[in-house]
Chains A and B, each alone.
Chain A
Amino acid sequence: MSGKNGNNRLRAREPLTDTQLLMYISVGIFVVMYAAAALTLKGGFLKPQMIFDLLNDNAALIIISCALTIVMIGGGINISVGGVIGLTVMSCALFLNNNHIESSALSILVTLLLALGIGLGFGLLQGFLVAHLEIQPFIVTLAGMFLARGLTTILSVNPVKVAHEGFQELVKTKLKISWLGYTAQNGNLIPAKIEIGAIVAVAVVIVMFLILRYTRLGRNVYAVGGNRQSALMLGINVKSTVFWSYVISGLLSGLAGFVFLMHKPAGNASVAMRSEMDAIASSIIGGTLLTGGVGNVIGTFFGSMILATIQKIIALSPLNASWWQEMASGAMLSFFILLQSLVLMRKNRSKRKAKQKAAAKTAEEKPSGTGGGTA
């Protein structure tokens, strides 16, 4: 009996969780915004290439947004991601220009390892400070950001252009898909072009989704973010969970640096300046709560795409000015924060109402004792 019953209950549709609800909202907004742009601005929004351009231009942002999402779900924050990109880009550019490795491929591979190593180093250090010494993650990663920016400037004050030939080949390497392309005015077929970075970014989103959904570490991150004390009582190793979430976050930042270099092969002290703020915005727009426990990287992916679309729309519209873009992004962010608090308020209210109803009922059944007044 219980088996049959159980199956039915398993199959029953559950109401959306907060994570799902906020994610769907984000996906919906992206679709609406993109469709509106396609209808009103003719600047290529109808061509698939536009989507690929959004991905090509924002691959690094998508990756660091994932890096932020995992620590934010765990109730933390990491604002060093932009700084780590800057340091990675500069280090890799210098390394590519100055190393004496004969094989071009090997040289690039070592550069990639260098990028991951820098990210890993930051992740390990910050994870240790946050998880084991219990220092505020905001402070730790703020310090990390300053450190990374400082080191970048020490490495080189002047911009460093990558002169490595093999790497330049890599930058030019694009996946070409002709059936998604379009015919130009002169009759030539121009295939859709996807950069390696964009493919890496999408892969990161998928891998991070799987980690957060199907591994013990991922679920523990949600538990810690949902209620740290409870997570401890449930037998979760909170310190190790927090530590590894920062390590992953750092590693992804290093990877983002390498992807950034593949898109714009030059180091510069101000590379990816303020991109941590865009990454935080992407996560929040994608439905990650700053308080932790809610969010996922699919939402974050669409959060990044929303920001990228806003940027594109404003670039193509008569309003072409950076302050319009920032204001639109800001408005979008405020809208999402508002939406999130409304969602949570509605939920809490319905719970409180139910509770009050129950309390009123019991009060009716049990009139309050012999009364209080002095007669």
Chain B
Amino acid sequence: MEDGIVLAMRGICKSFPGVKALNNVDFTLRKGEIHALMGENGAGKSTLIKVLTGVYEKDAGSIEIEGCPGEAHIHSPQQAQNIGISTVYQEITLCPNLTVAENMFIGRTSDRLVHWKDYEKRATEILDNLGIPARAKQELSRCSLAVQQMVAIARAVDMNCKVLILDEPTSSLDDKEVAMLFQLMRDLRGRGVGIVFVTHFLEQVYEVSDRITVLRNGELVGEYTVKDLPQVELVAKMIGKSLDDLAELEQFQKGKGAQDEVVYEAEELSSSECRPFDFKIRRGEVNGFTGLLGSGRSESVRAIFGADQVTGGKVKINGKTVRVSNPHEAMKNGIGYLPEDRKRDGIIADLSVRENIILALQTIRGMNHPIPRAKAEAFADEYIKALDIKTASQDTPIKSLSGGNQQKVILARWLLTHPQYLILDEPTRGIDVGTKLEIQKLVLRLAEEGMSVTFISSEIEEMLRTCSRLIVMRDRNIVGELTGDELTQAQVMKTIAGGEE
């Protein structure tokens, strides 16, 4: 192995039934560098990390670690730790009910007795040494999340790790905490630790990293030094479109139905998951929220629907100030929301297609006004026909339908309530191309009929085809709004990447 390299992964392949999660991926980590691992959802970042930490067994390829002669065989997280690979995950993997010191040492010795004094003394030394603002005897749950994360890092560092993997360490931290974490990362880099940094936040990558490896669809796109890869090119590489061959997409029917009247308006709306933002939508308008995963696009629409705890802001519907602090109030005010995670938040798997369709309407009517059976059947028939839902009968449990048809049932559920404003969060994820187009057409038709729609999709082309206005988010802030001629893929990507041209 070359000098200065602590970790070399070569030709890593990993398949799951039906998916090639990693195809011939190389990854090289040098001593004392912070190396960002980038890619959109499904790019293979987590699979690569899991292969490296022994959670998954690789199908092919080799891993070499400095100080281990020959190939390293890693079969368990335990083994990975023993040869110097430590991982700190997004969610804290420490025990909240134990002290800081104990969290740093538990599970590491084969000693049958616990030497508290010894633990506390050593922990204090390490905490002081790394400048972590925690006390050894403090109960972990009394520390802030950032400090907990740092304790996890301290534990990893004390185990003499050569490779430190930080998997989305900043996603639940605020700016100040992120700065503290970065200081620690730079400090560790100075001590020669190789750090793999996985994150969705582009600005953070440029703030702290030395090198970037980009993955897409399980394949290696390339390894770059930070200064050679401007943000906009990084986004292009992650999404997989080069800026040159972006053809203008046909603009059919788009924006026809938009009227002047504002249907929904929010000022300084914020929730437990998102920062305050302003937003309005007009009757018959289709708009979109775009940004990379984790940029806050879903959190924003969840705040509009009251799906997360709303913490502030003023909402006006049709010019009248109303309170929308939970989904029920949102529904009563004519807002519908098709959630991002169909399986978890959308379908009720064991109920029939009919029952799934009438669910939202029933909720609005209240428990004491059940929808008569005959009416429910009529509704179900109407929408099964209108949306061309392929199901054996309306009594079929929804779980036996294909993903696309399940999604249509959920759509039907909301259309039945005749909302004036419908939010669709990733309605086309995981469904076949034909149905995707149908849903896009349906959105445009609904808008023509006067419904306001917010459409979110990871596929930018899809949004360009349907939306007449795109709100661009980055790192949980709205960073731009594109309309008319600005609605080109190039412009969207530039805005996502931020500032630089």
Instruction: Check if A10 sits within 8 Å of B141, measured CB to CB.
Output: no
Q: Which residue of B lies closest to A213 (CB)?
A: B114
Instruction: Check if B113 sits within 8 Å of A370, measured CB to CB.
Output: no
Instruction: Check if B112 sits within 8 Å of A215, measured CB to CB.
Output: yes
Q: Which residues of B lie under 8 Å from residue A227 when comparing CB positions?
A: 93-97
Bound complex: CA A70 to CA B358 (Å): 49
Instruction: Check if B97 sits within 8 Å of A214, measured CB to CB.
Output: no
Interface centre among B94, B107, B109, B142 (most CB of A within 10 A): B107
Contact of A216 among B114, B138, B479 (CB under 8 A): B114
Number of A-B pairs, beta carbon distance below 8 Å: 155
Which applies to chain B's interface (DSSP): helix, strand, loop or mixed?
mixed
Contact of B479 among A222, A229, A362, A370 (CB under 8 A): A370
CB under 8 Å from chain B, chain A span 273-329? 293-294
CB under 8 Å from chain B, chain A span 195-227? 213-220, 222-223, 225-227
Q: Which residues of A lie under 8 Å from residue B94 when comparing CB positions?
A: 227, 230, 234
Cβ contacts B462-487/A at 8 Å (1 or 0 each): 00000001010100011111010000
Bound complex: CA A371 to CA B279 (Å): 8
Q: Which residues of A lie under 8 Å from residue B270 when comparing CB positions?
A: 363
Instruction: Check if A231 sits within 8 Å of B278, measured CB to CB.
Output: no
Instruction: Check if B277 sits within 8 Å of A372, measured CB to CB.
Output: yes
B60 within 8 A of A: no
Instruction: Check if B139 sits within 8 Å of A216, measured CB to CB.
Output: no
Bound complex: CA A236 to CA B96 (Å): 15
Instruction: Check if A374 sits within 8 Å of B469, measured CB to CB.
Output: yes
Instruction: Check if A370 sits within 8 Å of B98, measured CB to CB.
Output: no
A12 within 8 A of B: yes
Instruction: Check if A372 sits within 8 Å of B124, measured CB to CB.
Output: no
A187 within 8 A of B: no
Bound complex: CA A14 to CA B138 (Å): 6
Bound complex: CA A222 to CA B141 (Å): 14
Bound complex: CA A7 to CA B89 (Å): 31
Q: Which residues of A lie under 8 Å from residue B77 when comparing CB positions?
A: 233, 235
Contact of A372 among B95, B128, B280, B483 (CB under 8 A): B280
A143 within 8 A of B: no
Bound complex: CA A15 to CA B175 (Å): 28
Interface centre among A2, A233, A359, A370 (most CB of B within 10 A): A233
Bound complex: CA A178 to CA B112 (Å): 42
Q: Which residues of A lie under 8 Å from residue B97 when comparing CB positions?
A: 17-19, 222, 225-227, 293-294
B103 within 8 A of A: yes
Interface centre among B99, B114, B125 (most CB of A within 10 A): B114
Min Cβ gap B319→A in Å is 14
Bound complex: CA A186 to CA B176 (Å): 78
Bound complex: CA A234 to CA B277 (Å): 40
Min Cβ gap A320→B in Å is 42
CB under 8 Å from chain B, chain A span 350-375? 351, 354-356, 358-359, 361-363, 365-366, 368-374
A347 within 8 A of B: yes
CB under 8 Å from chain A, chain B span 93-142? 93-99, 102-103, 106-109, 111-114, 116, 120-121, 124-125, 128-129, 135-139, 141-142
Q: Which residues of A lie under 8 Å from residue B113 when comparing CB positions?
A: 214-216
Contact of B174 among A222, A351, A362 (CB under 8 A): A362
Cβ contacts B423-445/A at 8 Å (1 or 0 each): 00000000000000000000000
Instruction: Check if B174 sits within 8 Å of A359, measured CB to CB.
Output: yes
Instruction: Check if A2 sits within 8 Å of B125, measured CB to CB.
Output: yes
With contact pairs A368-B277, A368-B478, A371-B478 given, residues A12 and B144 touching in the complex (Cβ less than 8 Å): no
Bound complex: CA A308 to CA B27 (Å): 66
B81 within 8 A of A: yes
Q: Which residues of B lie under 8 Å from residue A365 when comparing CB positions?
A: 175
Q: Which residues of B lie under 8 Å from residue A15 when comparing CB positions?
A: 139, 142
Q: Which residues of B lie under 8 Å from residue A366 when comparing CB positions?
A: 175, 477
Q: Which residues of A lie under 8 Å from residue B174 when comparing CB positions?
A: 355, 358-359, 361-362
Q: Which residues of B lie under 8 Å from residue A369 when comparing CB positions?
A: 277, 473, 477-480
Q: Which residues of B lie under 8 Å from residue A293 when comparing CB positions?
A: 95-97
Contact of B95 among A6, A10, A226, A351 (CB under 8 A): A226
Instruction: Check if A2 sits within 8 Å of B129, measured CB to CB.
Output: yes
Instruction: Check if B477 sits within 8 Å of A371, measured CB to CB.
Output: no
Q: Which residues of A lie under 8 Å from residue B478 when comparing CB positions?
A: 368-372
Instruction: Check if B135 sits within 8 Å of A368, measured CB to CB.
Output: no
B78 within 8 A of A: yes
Instruction: Check if A234 sits within 8 Å of B103, measured CB to CB.
Output: yes
Bound complex: CA A356 to CA B282 (Å): 32
Bound complex: CA A234 to CA B103 (Å): 8
B329 within 8 A of A: no
With contact pairs A12-B135, A368-B275 given, residues A6 and B108 touching in the complex (Cβ less than 8 Å): no
Instruction: Check if B107 sits within 8 Å of A235, measured CB to CB.
Output: yes
Bound complex: CA A361 to CA B97 (Å): 29
Q: Which residues of A lie under 8 Å from residue B483 when comparing CB positions?
A: 374
B64 within 8 A of A: no
Bound complex: CA A373 to CA B139 (Å): 45
Interface centre among A10, A19, A225, A374 (most CB of B within 10 A): A374
B394 within 8 A of A: no
Q: Which residues of A lie under 8 Å from residue B480 when comparing CB positions?
A: 369-370
Instruction: Check if B278 sits within 8 Å of A219, measured CB to CB.
Output: no
Bound complex: CA A366 to CA B275 (Å): 10
Bound complex: CA A216 to CA B111 (Å): 7
A99 within 8 A of B: no
Cβ contacts B242-277/A at 8 Å (1 or 0 each): 000000000000000000000001000010000111
Interface centre among A14, A218, A225 (most CB of B within 10 A): A14
Contact of A373 among B95, B108, B125, B278 (CB under 8 A): B278
B221 within 8 A of A: no
Bound complex: CA A82 to CA B244 (Å): 77
Instruction: Check if A18 sits within 8 Å of B139, measured CB to CB.
Output: yes
A40 within 8 A of B: no
A5 within 8 A of B: yes
Q: Which residues of A lie under 8 Å from residue B116 when comparing CB positions?
A: 214
Bound complex: CA A369 to CA B474 (Å): 9
Min Cβ gap B250→A in Å is 24
With contact pairs A230-B92, A230-B94, A293-B97 given, residues A354 and B144 touching in the complex (Cβ less than 8 Å): yes
Min Cβ gap B272→A in Å is 8
Instruction: Check if B280 sits within 8 Å of A373, measured CB to CB.
Output: yes
Q: Which residue of B lies closest to A235 (CB)?
A: B107
Min Cβ gap B90→A in Å is 12
Instruction: Check if A234 sits within 8 Å of B280, measured CB to CB.
Output: no
Bound complex: CA A217 to CA B78 (Å): 19
Q: Which residues of A lie under 8 Å from residue B471 when comparing CB positions?
A: 372
With contact pairs A6-B121, A216-B114 given, residues A371 and B276 touching in the complex (Cβ less than 8 Å): no
Bound complex: CA A372 to CA B78 (Å): 48
A9 within 8 A of B: yes
Q: Which residues of A lie under 8 Å from residue B107 when comparing CB positions?
A: 220, 223, 231, 234-236
Min Cβ gap A347→B in Å is 7
Bound complex: CA A2 to CA B469 (Å): 58
Bound complex: CA A327 to CA B138 (Å): 39
Can you list 13 contacts pairing A with B, beta carbon distance less than 8 Å? A2-B129, A14-B135, A17-B99, A17-B139, A216-B114, A227-B93, A231-B107, A233-B89, A366-B477, A370-B479, A371-B478, A372-B471, A374-B282
> What residues make up the interface of B, taking CB atoms closer than 8 Å to A?
77-78, 81, 89, 92-99, 102-103, 106-109, 111-114, 116, 120-121, 124-125, 128-129, 135-139, 141-142, 144-145, 174-177, 265, 270, 275-280, 282, 311, 469, 471, 473, 477-481, 483
> What residues make up the interface of A, taking CB atoms closer than 8 Å to B?
2, 5-6, 9-10, 12, 14-15, 17-19, 213-220, 222-223, 225-227, 229-231, 233-236, 293-294, 347, 351, 354-356, 358-359, 361-363, 365-366, 368-374
Question: Nearest 10 A-B pairs (CB), nearest first?
Answer: A235-B107, A226-B95, A226-B97, A293-B97, A234-B107, A369-B478, A233-B93, A6-B124, A369-B477, A372-B279
Name 8 extra pairs, CB < 8 A, besides A17-B139, A217-B112.
Answer: A214-B116, A220-B107, A356-B311, A359-B174, A362-B174, A372-B481, A373-B265, A373-B280
